[in-house]
Amino acid sequence: MLYLLLIFFPLSMAFSAFLLRRLPRTAIALSIGTLIVELLLALQVRVDDPVRVLGVTLLLSPLNQIFLFLFLGVAITTLTAALIVPHGENFSAIGLLTVGQTVAILVMQDSFVTALVLVAIGLTTVLAIVDLPAGAGVLVSRQTLATALKYLVLMVVAGILLYIAYVLTDIFRPGELPGRISPARFILALLAAGFALRMALTPFHSWLVDLISYAGSLAAILIIALPAPASLLVFLLTLQSFPTLLFEGGQALDVLRIGAAVSAVLAGALALTAITLRQRMAYLIASNCGIIFYGFASLSLAGLSGALVGVINLALAVTTVLISLALLEHPNERLTAESRNDLFWRRPVAGAGVLGGGLALIGWLPFPGGTSSLLVLQAAAAIHWGELLIVLAAMVLAALTLVQLAVQYLIGARDIPLAEEPPLLGETELDRLPPLQPASEPLSSVALISILLAVMLAIGLFPNVLLPTIEAAVRSLAALYAV
């Protein structure tokens, strides 16, 4: 019963948050309390104790337990940030619906059902993109509406590709037609395309760039930091459930690895030519997703372990970066933030959050991304030196992008001399208003970003807290990395 309670408790409380949407602070407080109770319930669930309900096996493995705590922590942090920065009227309800569906993905051990839930998450989170604050006197902008439609269509296409692949795996019988070309490669191609759309791998990355550029920061966190990492766990479950695809896939695995590495390189190159701050961060996220996908496709102990650590790093880094960007832009307009180069000096904690999250995305020690990058590089070196060079090139391009971003937007001169307008007819110096001073950062935002950075540093400095559990989970998939 605890499994069902984990899934349906946040879903039911989402309706209460929806009824309280006109009282945003009350709805947020209710949602945060719901997630705290959900966290306490997760502590009561017995690990590796399967339960079968309506033909579906529910199981919480030690690895999925780590990700359950991670996703609940990200959701609590995001809802707490909603007390500081602007958000949509139904943000609390949508957040609880997303958390409930993500928990369902973690505990359900059926690929067909999880693929259905992934499509449902796409339908739920798209509402966060077009959600407007209470009492907003404007309509949804054309760019935001186009972003929502693009994301919705691509997620539905990804779901269709996954369902076709799962249907083919259900009727696929290895060795049934000797001498014929095995359909395993075609099935792997469908799976790769479906999960590449969800992970925003180049050239399927356009929805991610538009999302970060035109949607709200908190809505983007719900879409990137929860469903995207959960989809990689579904990918791992799929390979575990159908290992014959790997044995008969032949060179398809090589194509997956090289394609993921090239995707990371292309995203890094596009990041260098991006125009705005948010676009650069979006391409850095896409590049990091390519490296993570390469670790999964390597099917080695080091590669899979690095990819799983990278998923944890991705969720934390995306949350830190997007909350920091929202605080840099608030209460000023986004154009003001984009037109300055001294954002770090104006708001040092939010600027440190952008830099710290960026360092985690490019795989810099002592952040968790550094541990993930080292493990992925070890896996690439064990396969072929050419693939190692491609992954290194992607990391170098990402590092150059972060340096360019910091110089252009964050660490410029503290005082920018402004052109003084000539006095009007009859105007004196006493008649002029004093220059506006930048608003100081709220203590709540300082504490929030500091906690996020401290958590990332703690995981990066002490990776042995999580690595044994992750490596044990990977070793239990011996059929996968033995390929």
The owner of tokens 């439609």 is: 149
Q: What is the pLDDT of residues 450-471, one digit of tens each?
A: 999 999 999 989 988 888 888 8
Cis before residue 442, ω within 30 degrees of 0? Answer: no
Contacts of 9 (CB under 8 A, 6+ apart): 34, 37, 38, 41, 100
User: Which is it for the CA torsion 399, 401, 404, 408, positive or negative?
Assistant: negative
- pLDDT, tens digit only, all 483 positions of the chain: 788 888 889 999 999 988 888 888 899 999 999 999 999 988 888 887 778 877 778 888 888 888 899 999 999 999 999 888 878 888 899 999 999 999 988 888 777 788 888 888 888 888 888 887 765 556 778 888 889 999 999 988 988 888 888 888 877 665 555 555 567 778 888 888 888 888 888 888 888 999 998 888 888 998 898 888 888 888 887 877 777 777 665 677 788 888 899 999 999 999 988 888 889 999 999 999 999 999 988 888 888 889 999 999 999 999 999 999 888 876 654 445 556 677 777 788 888 899 999 999 998 888 998 899 999 999 999 988 888 999 999 999 999 999 988 888 887 666 555 455 566 655 565 555 555 455 567 788 888 999 999 999 999 899 888 888 888 888 876 555 555
- Which letter, b or e, does each residue of 446-467 get, where b requires 16 or more Cβ atoms within 10 Å of its Cβ? bebbeebbebbeebbeebeebb
- The amino acid present at 463, given as its one-letter code, is P
- Predicted pLDDT of residue 174: 59
CA distances from 129 to 117, 280, 446 (A): 19, 20, 26
Contacts of 81 (CB under 8 A, 6+ apart): 218, 323, 326, 445, 448
Give 71-89 as a DSSP string.
HHHHHHHHHHHTTTS---T
Cis before residue 203, ω within 30 degrees of 0? Answer: yes
Give CA–CA dist 301/379, Å, rounded: 8
Give CA–CA dist 89/255, Å, rounded: 44
Q: What is the DSSP letter of 275?
A: -
- Predicted pLDDT of residue 464: 87
Q: Which two tokens stand for residue 117?
A: 């839930």
Give CA–CA dist 58/41, Å, rounded: 15
What is the longest distance spanned by two Cα atoms in the chain?
A: 96
**Backbone phi and psi for residue 410, each to the nearest 5 degrees, phi listed first:** -110, -50
Q: What is the CA radius of gyration of the chain?
A: 23
Give the containing element (helix H, strand E) for 9.
helix 2-19
- Predicted pLDDT of residue 335: 44
Give 120-175 as a DSSP string.
HHHHHHHHHHH---TT--SPPPHHHHHHHHHHHHHHHHHHHHHHHHHHHHHH--TT
Give CA–CA dist 255/275, Å, rounded: 31
- Predicted pLDDT of residue 421: 59
Can you say whether residue 179 is alpha, beta or left, with left for phi > 0 and alpha for psi between -120 and 50 degrees?
Answer: left
- The amino acid present at 329, given as its one-letter code, is E
- Predicted pLDDT of residue 374: 92
CA 423 to chain centre: 51
The owner of tokens 């110089």 is: 407
- The amino acid present at 456, given as its one-letter code, is M
Q: What angle do CA 418, 404, 325 make, to 5 degrees?
A: 70
- Predicted pLDDT of residue 109: 79
Contact criterion met (CB below 8 Å) for 199 and 231: yes
| Other beta carbons within 10 Å of 52 | 10
The owner of tokens 């954002």 is: 343
Nearest partner of 224 among 251, 205, 246, 245, judged by Cα: 205
Q: End-to-end CA distance of the chain, in Å?
A: 37
- CA count, 13 A, side-chain hemisphere, 367: 25
Give CA–CA dist 196/161, Å, rounded: 11
Q: Which two tokens stand for residue 158?
A: 């990804």
- The amino acid present at 158, given as its one-letter code, is A
Give CA–CA dist 409/334, Å, rounded: 13
User: Which is it for the CA torsion 246, 260, 129, 148, positive or negative?
Assistant: negative
- Predicted pLDDT of residue 391: 92
- Predicted pLDDT of residue 244: 74
